[in-house]
């Protein structure tokens, strides 16, 4: 990994971590200051709205990084805003019909996801123009301001609706001021030196067509972490959902790290693809990268889970524990993440956006089946085995797609 790639990776990794800090702080404070049932309601509200907003995101970060030729920033913005508005309406309708969670709580959770969507989208635009440091600084300031605002409201009110309102409003303001405006300024300067020949409607259509398979795929993938919460709530109640939500942050942190590392690798992989145009060669290089990271993840994951089993009850309270039966499948899921991320990224680099849907459908279907079979009898351990099944199947399917393409290219 080159120095510039390593630096960019550190900045982007820090930004992604900071972006997830607000919800984690709310989870921590609610766990310490309210009941497990309140924490469960908070977690369930996010789980209900998340798939809609993940779909509305349309994989825009990946699209802005990989779409050739590059589209104009205002068209990305138009597509993202329209999709987010539709997701908010759909999430409110679904959430109010499918659960007892108050509409206002769902609305606030949805608005916080709108902020997440735009933060992720403009981060891709800034990364494409070598502004990873801007992403980090904006995310740092945003995390600090949002966390402080929300923490004050939680401490003062102990009220979930007020807390989510503070999170949503402060997140939207900070995302606009600290990330969206810098991205618009940077892209405007770059676009002044480029001649765009494609009609505007055609460019918007190209963005949507590239993003739709990614949006559907990522929305299905989000069910890997949200569907277990639905089933756990139904089978064991909101208090156990709260414990699952806390433990899922271990997986989420590892997923964020791996996702950023694999995305930072995109420029290097694109150069390889440009020079070779061969899927077999890309698969071999990707497998080596994934293997190296997997080896590194094994001891880190083991130590991390041991620390988590000790620290989580101390930080969140004695109700929130991690047993050995739960830690084993969770550890397998984390160790398999590099293979899943790097191989799926290699598929996207070939502009095989439609194949991302194949990955998502296959891995999500297997995960949902595992949830239905395992969670009622095994509880949270079953939920983590289902997550592991999803990660492993995603890696295997991506490898098969690249291998089959390589075989076709050899026959030509």
Is 178 found in the same domain as 297? no
Provide CB contacts within 8 A for 279, sequence distance 6+: 350, 402, 403, 405, 406, 409
Is 244 found in the same domain as 192? no
Domain annotation covers residue 393? yes
Q: Distance between terminal CA atoms of the chain? A: 33
Is 230 found in the same domain as 311? yes
Domain annotation covers residue 165? yes
**Comparing C-alpha atoms, which of 127, 166, 105 is closest to residue 14?**
127
> DSSP for 39-64?
HHHHHHHHHHHHHHHHHHHTTHHHHH
Give the number of residues written for the chain.
412
Alpha helices in 277-336 (DSSP H): 279-316, 324-335
> DSSP for 168-232?
HHHHHHHHIIIIIHHHHHHHHHHHTT----S-HHHHHHHHHHHHHHHHHHHHHHHHHHHHHHHHH
Domain annotation covers residue 210? no
Which structure tokens are listed for 109?
């959770």
> DSSP for 66-107?
H-SSPPPHHHHHHHHHHHHHHHHHHHHHHHHHH--S-HHHHH
Beta carbons of 241 and 367 less than 8 angstroms apart: no
Helix 380-411 and helix 279-316: axis angle, to 10°? 170
Is 179 found in the same domain as 274? no
Residue with tokens 């950023």: 260
Beta carbons of 398 and 344 less than 8 angstroms apart: yes
CA 153 to CA 159: how far, in whole Å?
A: 8
Q: Which of 180, 197, 214 is the last residue of a domain?
A: 197
Beta carbons of 170 and 150 less than 8 angstroms apart: yes
CA 162 to CA 353: how far, in whole Å?
A: 40
Domain annotation covers residue 217? no
pLDDT of residue 278: 62
Beta carbons of 16 and 262 less than 8 angstroms apart: no
Is 143 found in the same domain as 21? yes
Is 269 found in the same domain as 327? yes
Domain annotation covers residue 219? no
Based on the structure, what is the number of domains in the chain?
A: 2
Beta carbons of 241 and 48 less than 8 angstroms apart: no
Beta carbons of 250 and 334 less than 8 angstroms apart: yes
CA 121 to CA 67: how far, in whole Å?
A: 13
pLDDT of residue 354: 66
Which structure tokens are listed for 176?
């606009």
Q: Which of 152, 178, 197 is the last residue of a domain?
A: 197
The tens-digit pLDDT sequence of the chain (412 residues) is 566 666 777 787 778 778 777 778 888 888 888 888 888 888 888 889 999 999 999 888 888 877 777 788 888 899 999 999 999 999 999 988 877 778 899 999 999 999 999 998 888 888 888 788 888 999 899 989 998 999 999 999 988 999 999 999 999 999 999 999 998 888 887 665 656 556 677 788 888 888 888 888 888 888 888 889 989 988 898 889 999 999 998 998 899 888 878 877 777 766 766 566 565 677 788 888 888 999 999 999 999 999 999 999 999 988 899 999 999 999 999 999 999 999 988 887 766 666 777 888 888 999 999 999 999 999 999 999 999 999 999 999 988 888 887 776 666 5
Is 193 found in the same domain as 281? no
Q: Which of 160, 182, 197 is the last residue of a domain?
A: 197
Is 295 found in the same domain as 238? yes
Determine the 3-state secondary structure of 357 from DSSP: helix
Domain annotation covers residue 365? yes
Domain encompassing residue 242: 224-412
């Amino acid at each position: 990994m080159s120095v510039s790639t390593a630096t960019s990776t550190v900045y982007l990794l820090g930004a992604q971590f900071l972006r997830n800090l607000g919800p984690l702080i709310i989870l921590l404070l609610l766990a310490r200051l309210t009941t497990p049932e309140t924490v469960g309601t908070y977690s369930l509200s996010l789980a209900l709205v998340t798939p809609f907003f993940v779909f509305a995101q349309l994989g825009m970060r990946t699209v802005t990084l990989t779409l050739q030729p590059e589209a104009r920033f205002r068209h990305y913005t138009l597509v993202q805003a329209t999709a987010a508005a539709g997701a908010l309406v759909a999430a409110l309708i679904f959430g109010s019909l499918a659960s007892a969670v108050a509409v206002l709580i769902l609305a606030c959770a949805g608005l916080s996801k709108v902020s997440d969507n735009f933060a992720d989208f403009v981060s891709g635009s800034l990364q494409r123009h070598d502004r990873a440091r801007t992403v980090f600084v904006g995310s740092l300031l945003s995390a600090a301001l949002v966390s402080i605002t929300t923490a004050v409201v939680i401490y003062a009110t102990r009220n979930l609706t007020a807390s989510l309102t503070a999170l949503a409003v402060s997140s939207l303001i900070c995302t606009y001021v600290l990330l969206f405006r810098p991205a618009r300024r940077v892209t405007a300067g770059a676009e002044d030196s480029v001649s765009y020949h494609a009609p505007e409607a055609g460019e918007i259509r190209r963005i949507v067509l590239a993003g739709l398979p990614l949006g559907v795929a990522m929305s299905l993938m989000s069910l890997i972490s949200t569907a277990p919460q639905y089933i756990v709530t139904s089978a064991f109640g909101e208090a156990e959902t709260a414990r699952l939500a806390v433990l899922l942050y271990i997986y989420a942190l590892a997923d964020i790290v791996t996702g950023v590392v694999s995305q930072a690798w995109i420029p290097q992989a694109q150069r390889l693809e440009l020079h070779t145009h061969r899927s077999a060669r890309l698969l071999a290089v990707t497998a080596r990268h994934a293997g190296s990271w997997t080896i590194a993840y094994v001891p880190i994951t083991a130590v991390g889970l041991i620390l988590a089993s000790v620290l989580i009850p101390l930080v969140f309270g004695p109700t929130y524990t991690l047993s050995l039966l739960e830690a084993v499948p969770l550890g397998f899921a984390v160790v398999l993440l590099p293979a899943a991320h790097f191989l799926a990224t290699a598929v996207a680099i070939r502009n095989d956006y439609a194949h991302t849907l194949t990955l998502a459908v296959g891995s999500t279907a297997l995960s949902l089946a595992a949830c239905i079979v395992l969670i009622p009898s095994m509880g949270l351990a079953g939920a983590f085995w289902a997550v592991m099944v999803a990660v492993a199947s995603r890696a295997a399917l991506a490898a098969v797609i690249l291998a089959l393409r390589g075989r076709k290219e050899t026959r030509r």
